[in-house]
């Protein structure tokens, strides 16, 4: 079973716009991670936010974490066609990661 759910399931935007994806999880966490997956490929780690952090930036990525609501969001600013992919949040321990069901992002040129 999935730990959490991403929202929306699918998102289509124009190049240059911002994309926001949300993730909810069920159990307490040490950290929450976001991964990206291009079609038919493996997952690529984007960013990790610890449970004692509220916001983290990496390039065009901004992640927020609200442990009281058990939710996180991923913002991609100034999107590009190359950002088209599926995005997953994941939580758990070093021994086991539990993924959400993902958001399929399509960035139109």
Partner 1 sequence: DAGVTQSPTHLIKTRGQQVTLRCSPKSGHDTVSWYQQALGQGPQFIFQYYEEEERQRGNFPDRFSGHQFPNYSSELNVNALLLGESALYICASCGGGGTGGNQPQHFGDGTRLSIL
Contact residues toward partner 1 (CB under 8 A) are 1-2, 30-31, 33, 35, 40-45, 48, 50, 88, 92-102
What CA–CA distance (Å, rounded) separates 93 from 38?
A: 24
Rounded to a whole number of angstroms, the minimum distance from the CB of residue 51 to partner 1 is: 10
| CB-nearer residue toward partner 1: 42 or 59 | 42
Q: How far is the CB of 16 from partner 1 (least distance, A)?
A: 28
Q: Are strands 10-14 and 103-108 parallel, antiparallel or unpaired?
A: parallel
Least Å from the CB of residue 72 to partner 1? 15
Strands 10-14 and 31-37 turn out to be: unpaired
> Based on the number of CB atoms within 10 Å of its own CB, is 62 exposed (0-12), middle (13-18) or buried (19 or more)?
middle
Nearer to partner 1, 8 or 16 (CB): 8
């Amino acid at each position: 079973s999935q730990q959490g759910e991403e929202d929306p399931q699918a998102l289509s935007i124009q190049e240059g716009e911002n994309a926001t994806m949300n993730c909810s999880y069920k159990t307490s966490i040490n950290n929450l991670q976001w991964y990206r997956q291009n079609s038919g490929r493996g997952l690529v780690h984007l960013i990790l936010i610890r449970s004692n952090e509220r916001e983290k930036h990496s390039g065009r990525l901004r992640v927020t974490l609200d442990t009281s609501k058990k939710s996180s969001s991923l913002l991609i600013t100034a999107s590009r066609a190359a950002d088209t992919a599926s995005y997953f949040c994941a939580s758990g321990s070093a021994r086991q990661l539990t993924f959400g069901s993902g958001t399929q992002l399509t960035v139109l040129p």
